[in-house]
Amino acid sequence: MTSPDAVVPPPANGVETRPLIISVIGGGSPPPRALALAVEVGRELAKRGCVVACGGLGGVMEAVCRGAKSAGGVTIGIMPGNEARAANPYVDYPIVTGMGFARNVIVAKTGRAVIAIDGAFGTLSEIGHALGDGIPVVGLETWQLPVRVDLPIKIEVAESPKDAVDRAIAAARARDVRERAGLH
């Protein structure tokens, strides 16, 4: 069931009905707190009808998928290797890339917004790819980037899983409005 929060706003022809995809990124070996946050983010995204996209493996990726599935959600795992069976057990749709960490670009670009939870260097690369392409990034206890006048991009800081989801959905909607207006 798709909630109104999760439906991508209609394009100019007024036909868009696809659910909103939000990418969730984070490390494969995070501390327990990050896992708990990821479960709640996944659950909250699913309750709003959003589809979760992630890197498909363990850690934050498995936790967010577990949370989404616990609330009846749909999950996509963008796999670094050649085997769909390497996906965590909560991935509905494993996308096999055979690209190693180069798949981080696909993870970042699949969502209309990205939620970063904790994370190591792979997460940092996904943040960079997202921000470089104008994809909004919401951070929940993740990397902090320096503020630069010459790069008006930033990670929007969330205080809780619910706040992260609220911010990601709002940012994705704002991005869709900008794109429809031709303002990239």
Task: Examine residue 47 and state whether it is found in any structural domain, yes or no.
Answer: yes
Give the pLDDT band of residue 110 (cuts 50, 70, 90): very high
Task: Examine residue 13 and state whether it is found in any structural domain, yes or no.
Answer: no
Q: What pLDDT, on a 0 to 100 scale, did the predictor assign at position 43?
A: 98
Number of domains making up the chain: 1
Helix (H, G, I), strand (E, B) or coil at 44: helix
Contact (Cβ atoms closer than 8 angstroms) between residue 145 and residue 119: no
Domain that holds residue 134: 18-160+169-180
Nearest to 112 by CA among 40, 38, 35, 165: 165
Which amino acid does the sequence have at 20? Answer: L
Neighbours of 135 (CB within 10 A): 22
Q: What pLDDT, on a 0 to 100 scale, did the predictor assign at position 7?
A: 57
β 93-96/74-79 pair status? parallel
Q: How far apart are CA 87 and CA 126, in angstroms?
A: 19
Q: What pLDDT, on a 0 to 100 scale, did the predictor assign at position 12?
A: 54
The per-residue pLDDT for range 121-172, each reduced to its tens digit, is: 999 999 999 999 999 999 999 999 888 888 877 899 999 999 999 999 999 9
Task: Examine residue 5 and state whether it is found in any structural domain, yes or no.
Answer: no
